[in-house]
């Protein structure tokens, strides 16, 4: 993010911060920075909902929003980032204060010069009560040129102070951008399985909740439009098309589908070859599944040897076909131990279930898990769906 963009977002965030019932601190700034940047839709929706209900954010609500939507990371990382942001903002305040003190002295010099010019003095005494241009048992009078020279010198000091302030603000903005990148990386790490690199259970739960949210009124997706077009072409080629020219082609309903899978007899692999080889199997299966993951889908390692593939837009036939491709792809490969010539065949059982917009995520999870159980109980290395 450029310095200009950061400055603009700071300008937009400060009025929002000042209208809340929470302090002007780094946590509040982080929340409102994301809000005005419009890069965190869940946070923006949560704030709008709270403002509509309560009118303002208090300290508790601000920290809760920060924890849930901004710093979804471990407490140690979040605290370190907050402390560093506090240090950065404190440095800005300190530098601005120093510039303010110099500005006050500069203002006094200008006022002194303005008074002399207004009186038409050609010399100024050091004593404010003395007659202009006349020394009264004190230091010699100061010539107007001397005062002008002093103001010019103060002007140079002010320019230097302003330049220093601008430099400090630029450094601070860059430091804040670095801290925000650190938070993003930590947030990504918190949503990723460390072994396979897939999404973890937390990321899957978020994706599932979003996938089952109430349907929007947005335009049809390209996939849906393509399916309608293909159905129309197929209907036109069908023999019945000649006798029913006005017939409307039917299109299978698209919706979210969940494929729950489990590596068959994984415990036996661990017992026979050790956990290190078991980890290699998990990584290999994850990589193989990733190659078949449709665009826009979420592939997650749920727990142990269990994986979940959530596809937001698919029909029943497409979901079953995808599950079968996954099963065949995994079952057709061999995983070889690095220290031996032996190869291990790994198979996958898959349970398939479709969801409906607006339903609770738990319902879809239970149906997919029940289908997976049927596949396991039915002999493994198979797909069970609706």
Residues 266 and 367 in one domain: yes
Residues 105 and 10 in one domain: no
Q: 37 is in which domain, residue-wise?
A: 3-70
Q: What is the pLDDT of residues 221-252, one digit of tens each?
A: 555 555 545 555 555 555 443 444 444 444 45
| Residue 208 placed within a domain | no
Distance CA 312, CA 258 (A): 9
Q: What is the pLDDT of residues 191-229, one digit of tens each?
A: 888 899 999 988 898 889 888 875 544 444 555 555 545
Residue 333 confidence class, pLDDT cut points 50, 70, 90: confident
Q: What is the pLDDT of residues 131-142, one digit of tens each?
A: 444 444 334 445
Q: Bigger pLDDT: 196 or 254?
A: 196
| Residue 206 placed within a domain | no
Q: Are 13 and 31 in contact (CB under 8 A)?
A: no
Residues 234 and 153 in one domain: no
Residues 232 and 292 in one domain: yes
What's the pTM value of the predicted model, to 2 decimals?
Answer: 0.53
Domain count, the chain: 3
């Amino acid at each position: 993010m450029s310095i200009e963009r950061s400055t603009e977002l700071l300008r937009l965030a400060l009025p929002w911060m000042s209208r809340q019932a929470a302090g002007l601190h780094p946590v509040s700034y982080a929340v409102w920075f994301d809000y005005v940047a419009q890069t965190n839709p869940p946070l923006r929706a949560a704030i709008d909902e709270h403002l509509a209900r309560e009118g303002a954010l208090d300290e508790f609500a601000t920290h809760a929003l920060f924890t849930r939507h901004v710093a979804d990371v471990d407490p140690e990382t979040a605290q370190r980032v907050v402390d560093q942001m506090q240090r950065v903002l404190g440095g800005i305040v300190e530098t601005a204060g120093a510039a303010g003190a110099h500005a006050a002295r500069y203002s006094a010099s200008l006022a002194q010069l303005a008074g002399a010019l207004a009186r038409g003095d050609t010399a100024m005494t050091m004593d404010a009560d003395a007659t202009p241009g006349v020394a009264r048992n004190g230091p010699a009078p100061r010539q107007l040129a001397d005062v002008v020279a002093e103001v010019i010198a103060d002007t140079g000091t002010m320019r230097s102070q302003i330049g220093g302030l601008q430099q400090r603000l630029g450094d601070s903005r860059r430091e804040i951008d670095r801290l925000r990148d650190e938070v993003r990386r930590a947030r990504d790490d918190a949503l990723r399985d460390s072994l396979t690199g897939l999404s973890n259970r937390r990321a899957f739960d978020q994706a599932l909740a979003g996938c089952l949210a109430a349907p929007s009124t947005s335009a049809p997706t390209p996939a849906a439009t393509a399916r309608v077009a293909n159905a129309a072409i197929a209907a036109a080629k069908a023999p019945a098309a000649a006798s029913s020219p006005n017939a409307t082609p039917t299109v299978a309903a698209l919706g979210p589908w969940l494929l729950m899978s489990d590596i068959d007899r994984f415990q036996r692999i661990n017992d026979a070859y050790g956990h290190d080889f078991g980890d290699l199997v998990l990584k290999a299966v994850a990589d193989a599944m990733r190659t078949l993951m449709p665009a826009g889908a979420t592939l997650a390692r749920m727990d142990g040897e269990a994986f979940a593939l959530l596809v937001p837009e698919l029909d029943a036939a497409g979901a079953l076909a995808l599950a079968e491709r996954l099963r065949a792809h995994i079952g057709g490969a061999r995983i070889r131990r690095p220290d031996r010539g032996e190869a291990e065949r790994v198979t996958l059982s898959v349970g398939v279930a479709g969801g409906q917009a607006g339903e609770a995520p738990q319902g879809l999870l239970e149906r997919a898990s029940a289908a997976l159980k049927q596949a396991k109980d039915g002999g493994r290395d198979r797909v069970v769906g609706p």
